[in-house]
Amino acid sequence: MGTLTVNQNKLQKRLRRQAGEAVADFNMIEDGDKVMVCLSGGKDSYTLLDVLMHLQKVAPIKFEIVAVNMDQKQPGFPEHVLPAYLKELGIEYHIVEKDTYSVVKELIPEGKTTCSLCSRLRRGTLYTFADEIGATKMALGHHRDDIVETFFLNMFFNGSLKAMPPKLRADDGRNVVIRPLAYCNEKDIQAYSDFKQFPIIPCNLCGSQENLQRQVVKEMLQDWERKTPGRTESIFRSLQNVIPSQLADRNLFDFTNLRIDETAASRFVNVVNL
């Protein structure tokens, strides 16, 4: 890339700053960590790798980066693209080959959404590989909009207030997942990807599916954002400002034993009869 324009420079600085703040706020990366960056070939994971490589240069701590792509054996997948790109960057990388495509096509009826099963199979394979190479952190490219969309998907369809945390320990305890782009918005990432000209690899398995619930929620949020700019950011901030006593989760707050405090001072002063 040549010299950046003023706007491109501002965009790059903003993404780097936001990622750095997220890493610091949630203590995502520590001295001596080996960070496995999961690279799908999409705009988000390319941006993630780019930002983390910069952070590696300027951070006051030392940590390793290893890029990992999972080749799911989708027909027409351009196997040469990522190795060529990563060799040019000069970083350690691995291509994990696992035919989850055939499994998904076999188990999911034609016309049904494949994302859920595909994601579970991919996640399980990557968790195992992270353990094999001794990675202490597994970095994913989810951004702020992904997190907010997931919050609404869980609320609308699963009846739970749950999103994607910026940092998560897997159920087996063997992996810690981090999302350094948690403070970054998708619009900025798309613009960054466009001017950096990342070699994008489209997903032929699910990218063309219509009426995905996530797409419906995304369009809802985009409509809200057009009508009330800043609403998505406000929703995201609310995920960092949870007040359990104002919800209704009996496991999270002790409503059973909630009663008046006999020692509390009275609200009222002496009333003079008139």
Concatenated DSSP letters for 41-103?
Answer: SSHHHHHHHHHHHHHHHHSSS--EEEEEEEE---TT--TTHHHHHHHHHT-EEEEEE--HHHH
CB within 8 Å of 63: residues ≥ 6 apart:
29, 30, 31, 32, 33, 34, 35, 56
206 annotated among ligand-binding-site residues = yes
What span, in angstroms and rounded, lies between the C-alpha atoms of 208 and 21? Answer: 34
Q: Is 38 annotated as a binding residue?
A: no
Tokens of 235: 């929703």
Phi, psi of 137 (to 5 degrees): -140, 145
d(CA 201, CA 95): 14
- Straight-line distance from the first to the last Cα atom of the chain, in angstroms, rounded to the nearest whole number: 82
**Residue 221 and residue 211: Cα distance in Å, rounded?**
15
Binding residues: 115, 118, 206
Binding residues for [4Fe-4S] cluster: 115, 118, 206
